[in-house]
Amino acid sequence: MTTPYQQPQPLTTSRDNLRPVRTLNLLSYREIQHLMSANVEVRKLFTLCALAVLNSGNEADDVSSLIESYPDFEIEVKPQSRGPIMDVRNAPASAFVDGNMIRGIQEHLFSVLRDVVYVNHALTGVYDLDSRRGVTEAVFDILRNANIVRPNLKPDLVVCWGGHSIGRNEYDFTKEVGYQLGLRGLNIGTGCGPGAMKGPMKGAAIGHAKQQLALRRYIGITEPGIIAAEAPNAIVNELVILPDIEKRLEAFVRLAHCIVVFPGGAGTAEELLYILSILMHEHNAGHPYGLILASPESSKDYFEDIDAFVRETLGDEAAQYYEIITGDPVAVAQRAKAHVDEQRRHRLALGASYGFNWELYIPSELQAPFEPTHENMASLRLDPTVPSQELASNLRKAFSGIVAGNVKAQGVAQIRAHGPFQINGDAEIMQRMESLLASFVAQKRMKIDYSNYTPCWEIVASK
């Protein structure tokens, strides 16, 4: 017998012959063999992503701890003419109820299979990934293959960015904004993890239910380096895994009809700098794009600090691309709806796609994967002689490296081996960056577990 405070032990943490819950493009014997035997790195990638999905609901962002906690985890994909089946061994117990895998987790598991196989097999050698158009076409095809891009749907997707480690007041605010968006028939896309990625989806689900909407989309967009730290939350009903952070970010901005940014840490700063570096580009002059920074009244200082950082590093002109709304979820939703309607009119006038923003110009420097090594982090040009759009891109890379050092397996391993990243630049820019990062640390925005947090960076000197 258990007490009211004890959880009963699960019947099993293994499952044989799992089949797709809804749909999965049929995979050939050759594709599955390629995944399971011929390519060790792809198999390792698939296993890590699968374990992360099975760990959904356990809000921790320590990749090493996850791997160490399940050393005997195994997953095998078996080809059948009806479609692939999976056998899972020694998975997190939370993925099962009375011996059966939770349906949503099972569906996410097959989404992992679909995307890892498609990216590492079907796309290999097909696209010129050294060209802007080639990268964008690859991103489009990954999203189309996952049924994220669909024809004949009106613009209605609000992408929400924000931190996975936020306070209760901020989480409740994201949920209320999501609720107001849902009441207005708007769907939600996020990075699919906890915190500010979960709250808008949870709120929108209630708003959609009240409006009795048939189409309820909660799109989770992730990548292999981050999925173990930000496993898909339980609300996500459409999951897609892009191959790297740059393609993930491109997917966000090309899918979105409006973006709402909530408080967060280094990852949120990275996302904001990414979209600003795009909107500031001369080729996008006059391109309408809704960007709202939203926080509860209790966190109004957060975006005041962000706004000051943007103005002091990129200039006042960079601030024209966003608006700040504090403490008013209804106003956030109303403005988002207005931006979505503007997108519909704009794309209708151009005869452009509703589902994928082909017209937005994304420079090659934002598409090329940035590897956050100690050498690359130290060599970033962070000084006012760099054009503002390029400086925003370089600052984005600096924050991306900090995210990697905080939660991504490869980045964490580098920090353990070689110590913190060293970031150099103009003395004034470095002082502002150090101040902003210090506020993130003080507000516990970098990681969920702060019991032994040590910054993975050092601001060392001016160039």
Q: Where are the domains of the chain?
A: 15-122, 134-357, 371-462
Whole-number Å distance between alpha carbons of 202 and 242? 23
23-38 b/e (C-beta count within 10 Å ≥ 16 → b): ebeebeeebbebbbee
Q: Are 70 and 198 in contact (CB under 8 A)?
A: no
Per-residue pLDDT tens digits for 363-415: 999 999 999 999 999 999 999 999 999 999 999 999 999 999 998 888 988 99
> Does 7 have pLDDT greater than 60?
no
Instruction: Look at residue 61 in the predicted model and tell me its pLDDT.
Output: 67
> Does 25 have pLDDT greater than 50?
yes
Query: What tokens appear for 190 in the block?
Result: 């996020």
Rg (CA), the chain: 22
Whole-number Å distance between alpha carbons of 113 and 178? 30
- For 101, the 3-state DSSP assignment is strand
Fold match between domain 15-122 and domain 134-357:
no
> Does 360 have pLDDT greater than 50?
yes
Whole-number Å distance between alpha carbons of 368 and 458? 25
Instruction: Look at residue 10 in the predicted model and tell me its pLDDT.
Output: 43
CATH architecture of 134-357: 3-Layer(aba) Sandwich (3.40)
Q: Are 280 and 318 in contact (CB under 8 A)?
A: yes
Instruction: Look at residue 408 in the predicted model and tell me its pLDDT.
Output: 86
Per-residue pLDDT tens digits for 325-350: 999 999 999 999 999 999 999 999 99
Query: What tokens appear for 300 in the block?
Result: 């109004």
Instruction: Look at residue 277 in the predicted model and tell me its pLDDT.
Output: 97
Sorted by sequence, the CB contacts under 8 Å of residue 9 that are 6+ apart come out as 93
Whole-number Å distance between alpha carbons of 262 and 291? 11
CATH code: domain 15-122 is 3.30.1850.10
| Burial group, residue 139, by CB count within 10 angstroms (0-12, 13-18, 19+) | buried
Per-residue pLDDT tens digits for 413-463: 899 999 999 999 999 999 999 999 999 999 999 887 777 789 999 998 664
Query: What tokens appear for 302 in the block?
Result: 């957060």
Q: Are 275 and 161 in contact (CB under 8 A)?
A: no
Closest to 113 measured CA to CA, from 73, 152, 81, 83 = 83
Whole-number Å distance between alpha carbons of 209 and 330? 18
CA 233 from chain center: how many Å?
12
Per-residue pLDDT tens digits for 38-49: 577 788 888 888
- For 201, the 3-state DSSP assignment is helix
Kindly list the distances between the CA atom of residue 386 and the CA atoms of 381, 382, 400, 430, in Å, as whole numbers in the listed order. Answer: 7, 7, 19, 14
Per-residue pLDDT tens digits for 106-128: 999 989 988 888 887 777 778 88
- For 87, the 3-state DSSP assignment is strand
Element (H, E) at 446: none
Per-residue pLDDT tens digits for 130-189: 899 999 999 999 999 999 999 889 999 999 999 998 999 999 999 999 999 999 999 999
Whole-number Å distance between alpha carbons of 189 and 221? 7
Neighbours of 452 (CB within 10 A): 6
87, β-bridge pairs: 76
Please calculate the CA angle 257-261-262 and round it to the nearest 5 degrees.
Answer: 145
Query: What tokens appear for 57 in the block?
Result: 């609901």
